[in-house]
Structures are given as C-alpha cells and as structure tokens.
Amino acid sequence: MKQKNIRVLFVHFVKSNNLLNKPLFNQKEIPFGVSYIMSVLRQNNFQYDVIITDKNYNKKEIDKKIKEFRPKLICIYCLSSYFNHILGFCEYLKTIYSKILILLGGPHITLNPKLDMDSPYDIINIGEGEYPVLELLRQLEQNKEPTRIKNLWIKKKRHIEKNTIRDYIQDIDKIPFPEREIWQKYILNKNSEHVIFLGRGCPFNCNYCSNHKLKSISKSKYVRLRNPKYIIKEIMELLEKFKGINRICFEIETIGENKKFINLLSKELQGLNQRLTRKLEFGANLRITENLDQEYLFNRLKKANFKYLKIGIESGSEKIRRAVISRNYSNKKITEVAKSARKYNLSIQVYVMIGLPYETKNDFKETIHLLKKIKPDIIFQNIFYPYTGTEIYDICKNNNLLKKNYLNKRERYNVVINSKGFSEINIMMYFIFLQYIIQRNYKPLSYVAKQTIYRILNSLIHRKVYNSFIVSRYLFKSQR
C-alpha cells in the first residue's frame, strides 16, 4: 500500500545524550506510549521518524532533520522532568518553523493540561493518543483545519477548542504491537531484556502516583488486560525480529490482581516455553495487598518460569504507608510475601522512597528494619519527589512543604521538601548508603561497593560525566 504524504516527526527528550549518541541505555527505555502511537500510524500508512535529544538540543541536527523529512506535525512526549526544556525547544521551533504543527502529549500533559493563545505549541493530547493522532492526521491529509477531535485541545485563530475526553481504549488487543525497530540505533545495550505490556491501568490509588488522576479523566474502564494469546503472538514476533532474547520484562502495574488472567497467562507461557529450545525467563511488577493470595500467584509464576518480581515497598512504616501514601497493608504481609517468593525461587527487587512528607528518621529506621528482614536481592531507592497533578503534590503545596527552589533540584536525587524530623543530610546519606546498610551481610562486598559508588557518582557529579562512566563500563564489559 502506498505511503501517505503526511509526515510526523516524534521528538523524544532524555536527561542527557552520551558520546556514542545512544541515549537509551536499554530496551526498557523505549518510550512505549509513543511507540504505540507510531504503530497505529504505520498500520495506516502514515510516515514518521524520530529524533532523540536533551536540553542542549543540537540546532543544526534538528534543522537538518526537519529540512530533510519535512514533517507536517511534530509530536513530543512530555514527562514533568523535561517539560521546561520542551517549552524552550517549542519556542525555538516556532520562531523558525511556524507552519509546522506542534502536538504535546504524555503523562505530564494529561495531569496538567494547559494551552493558551500564546503557548509555543498548537495542540495538546489528554489521555491515550493513538486514535486522536490518527484522526488529526486524517484531517490534515484532507487539508482541513483540525477540529472536533476527542482528547485534543486545539489552538484556533481566536480561541482554544477544548474537546471532550474519549473512553479509554477497551479492546487493547486491537492496537498493533508497538514500534521497536526505529529506536534500535539509539540503544546502547541492545541485548538487554525486552519489554512487553500485559495491560494498561491500575486498580489502586496511591496518591503519589499518576494513576489516580489518569483514571479520573474518563468514566470508562481503566484497568484493561490483554488476551494472553496475543501476548504470546507478540513474544513470537519479538523472538523472530531480535535474536538472542532470553528474558522478558512484563510491564503491568501489578500482576497480582486477576487470578483468572494469571492462570491463563501462566498456561500460555508454559506452552510457549515447551516449544522453545531455550526457555524464556520472565519478571513483572507486584503490588502487595492484604488479601493477596501469594501461594496461588507464585505457584503459577514459577510454572511459567518467572524469575523475579519488582515490588514497591516504598516505606517500612505502616503509619506512613497508610497516612501519607494511601497504601494499606501490614509489614507482616510483606514478610509473608517475601518468604513465599523465596520458596518459589523468585528473586525480589524492591522500590523504596526516602524522605516522604512527614516521615521522620525513626520512621525510616522501620524501613531499614523491614528490608533487613526480607533481604531483597535488589533495592532501588529514590528520594521522594511530588509530581504536579498528583494528590500528594497538593498536600505538599498546601502545607508549605515544598522547598523554594525545588524546581531547580534534580528529581528523585535531591531533597525537595522540608521535613522536621528527617534532615536533608540524613536523607542523602541513607540514599547513598542504603545497599551498604542492608545488603552488606548477604550480598558480595564487590556488589555492595559497586552500588554505593554508583549512587555517589550519580548524586554528586554531573550527569554527563556519569553517563560517560556508564558507557565506558558497558564498552569495557562488551569487549571481554
């Protein structure tokens, strides 16, 4: 089928590029929301390309790309972290290419929709983007001035057209598999784990996460799971296109919520592995709840050859979990889940936040106590950062917890809220030395030392230097 003449350029912002111009460290860093939009465009024969950049965008490179590709529309995925850079970038584009339409979308826009007559962009997308973008392109193809497209706010000559929000896509199996190929030349470690989405949406309402806001934009069903048969089909396609895959990370907010789905998925994955000469390994996210039937779940995961689970513990203080971040389950349950995971040989990777609102040093000591008890295989710690548009951001703002210069601080690596019972220096120390404090008695010292050095480098030195360090480490490893 002939390709249509309307071209779309996707501009993807990252924290910083590296010397090799491979700003995505692994397959997981493909921005899948945008990749799904691309796949719908591919299905409908629209042409698209991508450019990856950072806040120091190279004007020459951008100009070259725009002149060669001649896009009608530029699409930008917005995370809060990059939004200020994106605004500057749009201003630059508008001074030179005033005729090219600029469309912004992604979680930051959905959580904080804003479009004025003097905004340096023309359209914003609230919610899922596949079909709004497709409708927009169809109108542009017919030389129409874009109008009446659900999910889009459109700048017109004298006003902003704010269209209503469409339902969340209910049959997500109808969306074609995401575009992966276009990103490959930007990926440093191509042989890393691949990602496959099992569904969209989350049933929970943790107030620091975007999900409670995302689900509130539409009355339609927010949590949607894919048919396991299509998941297998996507894995098969992946195995054909990319050689040497042995591990797949399933992206789903939590794998523990639907027993029927787990049962079916487990059976399909067992069947798949029986047909393969080398068995695939899997991992996924798990949200603990008080009524989680871990024996049922882990039994099925084990049969399907799952090797790890990523669990958001966030805080080891039951009081902080319940009162501050809307997570209501006991430490007893966490311990039981961890014990059961060990029985089924599932390694546990946990997420922890340090310096939550109203958290004291003593509260954090409960986190340490819990982690020492459950002995996680991997710990990912972050310093608490409130994203605008979430409930916890409003709590921080209304209670004057935000530090004055918080926008200039590095998200998740610096302390951005004032706490009375937990000093900034203490939070930083726990952030850097958490692996040492927890894991030194059960993990090799070399591992603990490496993790600690990463944290020191990553928090104290410039991002570009840190990136060069990671790239050289990767090159060194791949030559051995």
> What is the closest distance, in whole angstroms, from the C-beta atom of residue 202 to ligand SF4 in the complex?
3
Secondary structure (3-state) at 4: coil
Q: Is the CB of 234 or the CB of 253 nearer to ligand SF4?
A: 253
Q: Is the CB of 180 or the CB of 300 nearer to ligand B12?
A: 180
Q: Is 80 in the site for ligand B12 (CB under 6 A)?
A: yes
Q: Is 27 in the site for ligand SF4 (CB under 6 A)?
A: no
Q: Report the DSSP pairing between strands 160-162 and 306-314.
A: unpaired
What is the Cα–Cα distance from 190 to 28, expressed in whole angstroms?
10
Q: Is the CB of 235 or the CB of 324 nearer to ligand SF4?
A: 324
Q: DSSP secondary-structure letter at 186? A: G
Q: Is 48 in the site for ligand B12 (CB under 6 A)?
A: no
Q: Which does 108 bind (CB under 5 to 8 A by kind): ligand B12, ligand SF4, none?
A: ligand B12
Q: Is 253 in the site for ligand SF4 (CB under 6 A)?
A: yes
Q: Write the CA distances from 282 to 187, 250, 295, 302, 310, integer angstroms.
A: 21, 7, 18, 10, 11
What is the Cα–Cα distance from 137 to 370, expressed in whole angstroms?
52
Q: Is 384 in the site for ligand B12 (CB under 6 A)?
A: no
Q: Write the CA distances from 185 to 16, 39, 176, 182, integer angstroms.
A: 16, 18, 22, 7
Neighbours of 26 (CB within 10 A): 17
> What is the closest distance, in whole angstroms, from the C-beta atom of residue 17 to ligand B12 in the complex?
12
Q: Is the CB of 206 or the CB of 427 nearer to ligand SF4?
A: 206
What is the Cα–Cα distance from 20 to 324, expressed in whole angstroms?
42
Q: Which does 50 bind (CB under 5 to 8 A by kind): ligand SF4, ligand B12, none?
A: none
x/- mask, ligand SF4, residues 272-291, rule CB under 6 A, reads ---------------x----
What is the Cα–Cα distance from 34 to 38, expressed in whole angstroms?
6
Could you tell me the two tokens for 181? 């190929």
Q: Which of 39, 41, 89, 107 binds ligand B12 (CB under 6 A)?
A: 107
Q: What are phi and psi of 383, to 5 degrees?
A: -85, 135
Q: Which stretch binds ligand SF4 (CB under 6 A): 20-28, 198-206, 331-339, 440-448?
A: 198-206
> What is the closest distance, in whole angstroms, from the C-beta atom of residue 329 to ligand SF4 in the complex?
11
Q: Which of 161, 251, 281, 424 binds ligand B12 (CB under 6 A)?
A: 251
Q: Is the CB of 134 or the CB of 264 nearer to ligand B12?
A: 134
Could you tell me the two tokens for 283? 């991992």
DSSP per position, 198-260: -EE--S---TTSTHHHHHHT-SS---EE--HHHHHHHHHHHHHHSTT--EEEEE-S-SSS-HH
Q: Is 129 in the site for ligand B12 (CB under 6 A)?
A: yes
Secondary structure (3-state) at 25: strand
Q: Is the CB of 106 or the CB of 146 nearer to ligand B12?
A: 106
| Rg over CA atoms, the chain | 23
Q: Is 122 in the site for ligand B12 (CB under 6 A)?
A: no
Q: Is 234 in the site for ligand B12 (CB under 6 A)?
A: no
In the numeric block, the tokens 């000469």 are attached to: 277
Q: Is 350 in the site for ligand B12 (CB under 6 A)?
A: no
Q: Which of 79, 182, 264, 457 binds ligand B12 (CB under 6 A)?
A: 79
Beta carbons of 143 and 172 less than 8 angstroms apart: no
Could you tell me how many residues of this chain bind ligand SF4 (CB under 6 A)? 10
> What is the closest distance, in whole angstroms, from the C-beta atom of residue 270 to ligand B12 in the complex?
25
Beta carbons of 169 and 131 less than 8 angstroms apart: yes
Q: Which of 9, 37, 137, 379 binds ligand B12 (CB under 6 A)?
A: 37
Closest CA to 354 of 258, 427, 274: 427
Secondary structure element (H or E) that encloses residue 51, with its range: strand 47-53
50: β partners:
10
> What is the closest distance, in whole angstroms, from the C-beta atom of residue 405 to ligand B12 in the complex?
19
Q: Is 172 in the site for ligand B12 (CB under 6 A)?
A: no
Q: Is 132 in the site for ligand SF4 (CB under 6 A)?
A: no
Q: Is the CB of 308 or the CB of 366 nearer to ligand B12?
A: 308
Q: Is the CB of 205 or the CB of 270 nearer to ligand SF4?
A: 205
Q: Which does 321 bind (CB under 5 to 8 A by kind): ligand SF4, ligand B12, none?
A: none
Q: Report the DSSP pairing between strands 123-125 and 152-155.
A: antiparallel
Q: Is the CB of 8 or the CB of 292 nearer to ligand SF4?
A: 292
Q: Is 111 in the site for ligand B12 (CB under 6 A)?
A: yes
Query: Within 13 Å of residue 39, how many CA atoms lie on the same side as its CB?
Result: 17
Ranges of beta strands (E only) in 58-174 are 73-77, 101-105, 123-125, 152-155, 160-162
Amino acid in position 187:
I
Could you tell me the two tokens for 274? 């029986």
Secondary structure element (H or E) that encloses residue 424, with its range: helix 424-439
Q: Is the CB of 129 or the CB of 376 nearer to ligand B12?
A: 129
Q: Which does 287 bind (CB under 5 to 8 A by kind): ligand B12, ligand SF4, none?
A: ligand SF4
Residues that bind ligand SF4 (CB under 6 A): 202, 204-206, 209, 211, 253-254, 287, 312
Residues that bind ligand B12 (CB under 6 A): 14, 28-34, 36-37, 75-77, 79-81, 103-108, 110-111, 125, 128-130, 133, 200, 209-211, 214, 251, 387, 412
